[in-house]
Structure 1
Amino acid sequence: MVSASRGIYKQVAPPHHSTLFRKNYTFLGVVFAGAFAFEMGFDNGMDKIWDSLNKGRQWKDIRAKYVQAADDDDE
């Protein structure tokens, strides 16, 4: 039974499998690089969603109004 499943696995395995996952350090490098890329993409995507949902309520959106008001008070 075990030998039959190994034969099927070798037939189904993609050609890059032997290159990327043959050695443990290569596998770990692929995992860490994939996690880093996913984190960067996820963070950027969530920041864009957050900014679109909170447009006009964040400091970067209303800063000019308060800085201008403070300049007017000084004069």
Structure 2
Amino acid sequence: MAGVCPYSLSQFPYLHCYVQTFIRKNTVLLTTAFAGAFAFELAFDITSNKVWDSWNQGRQWKDIKHRYMVKEEEDDE
């Protein structure tokens, strides 16, 4: 009996809905996995950038470049 789940799906009705919706077809499973990975990566990148910016506020180039950038003065002719 290798590969047989010891629990029946009737004991877990939400698991049954999950299996019927996402795992039954291989294409749906792969699409769900790729979409989930993409969403996780996007959320992780946005969150990590916000944390980095809050910890390093005032020390990044975007915060201090106005001190070092020289505005070109117009020549009065």
* Number of positions where the alignment pairs a residue of Structure 1 with one of Structure 2: 70
Q: Which runs of at least 4 in structure 1 moved beyond 3 Å after TM superposition?
A: 1-4
Distance 1:58 1:39 in 2: 24
Partner of 2:44: 42
Distance 1:64 1:14 in 2: 59
Superposed CA RMSD in Å reads 2.4
Amino acid of the structure 2 residue aligned with 1:54: N
Unaligned runs of 5+ in 2: none
Identity of aligned pairs, percent?
42
Please give the TM-score of this superposition, normalised by the length of structure 1.
Answer: 0.77
Please give the TM-score of this superposition, normalised by the length of structure 2.
Answer: 0.75
- Going by fraction, where is helix more abundant, 1 or 2? 1
Partner of 2:18: 16
